[in-house]
Each structure stands twice: as structure tokens, then as C-alpha cells.
Amino acid sequence: MPAAERGAAAPVFFLDTNVLVYSFSAQDTAKRDTARALAESDGAWVSTQVLSELGNVLTRRFRVPTAEARERIASIAAGCEVMVVSPSIVLDAFRVMERWGYGFFDSQIVATALACGASILYSEDLHHGQTVDDRLSIRSPFRFRTEQRAKSYRAGVRGAVKGAKSRRASL
């Protein structure tokens, strides 16, 4: 049951463009499913900058036809809260840039997440685990799955090697 239906406020989080790009991935289904779940969750925010960057990636890099890209952007805009990048956000991006050393457009993403009151900024490109202004935590939504798969893979390999050694010893 969504938080709003329980009478509780949904936690507010912000999605960076790179997360939404994965929501259209045909190659990486795990990342696609994670990105789609986030975009469809209560409390999801994006900005006009994110929508613009996504439209650019879809049409230029992935060569999605304009009409289809428009539909995809409209769907995300309808499903998420959208923050308009205002002059005050642009100016705050310079503060973020000076303080944390991000490039301007990444700083503007951070400034927008702060402006909408997000407690989490999901991004694959920024510093996972960093906290900005003691209130915005940057997280990669894909990191846990990647670490989990890596640990499982290593454990399986170690087990296979041990089994191979013990079989050789018994021959």
C-alpha cells in the first residue's frame, strides 16, 4: 500500500538522468527494473533538467524517434513530481560546485534535489555514500545488487575451486 494511502508522507527522493536512462535499457534488465520501480514509486522527483537531458539521450544516443521520446518523457513527467529549475537553483548550483567539486550540471542536479526537499539523490555518476548539507544522501540504486552479485559470484568460484582440488586429491 502506498505511503499516501496509509496517511504517511512518502519519503522524497530525486532521480538523476542516468537512473532514468536505465529504465529504458534492453540489455540490463536488473537495472531497468530497479530504475522503473524508483520512477513509479511515491515520492519520486525529477527536474526539467533531467527531462531535457533524458530527451537528448533518447533522441541522440539511442536514436529513438521524436514522437516516442516525447511519449516516454511525458510518461515520466506524469508519474513523478517535477521541479522547475529556477534562477535560485541555478545560483545554488555554484555553491554546490564550489563546496563539493562537482561539474556545473551535476551541481544543478544536487541543488534541485535539495530544493525539492529530497533526502536521497539516486545517481550512478555521483559519489555513493556522500551526504550534502547534512540532509541529502547520494546513493547508487544499483550498487547493492552489483555488490551482491559480485559476492555470490566469488563465493561460487571459491567453492568450485575447493571442490576441484578435493576431487583431484581423491583421484
> For strand 13-15 and strand 131-132, is the pairing parallel, antiparallel, or unpaired?
unpaired
Task: Say which residue the cell 547520494 belongs to.
Answer: 138
Residue 26 pLDDT grade (very low, low, confident, very high; cuts 50, 70, 90):
confident
What pLDDT is stored for residue 7 in this prediction?
52
Alpha carbon separation from 114 to 52, 73, 96, 105 (Å, rounded): 19, 23, 10, 14
- 136, 113 Cβ separation under 8 angstroms: yes
Nearest to 139 by CA among 14, 9, 5: 14
**Strand-strand pairing, 44-47 and 81-83:** parallel
**In the chain, % of residues over pLDDT 90:** 65
What pLDDT, on a 0 to 100 scale, did the predictor assign at position 47?
97
Between 57 and 4, the more confident residue is: 57
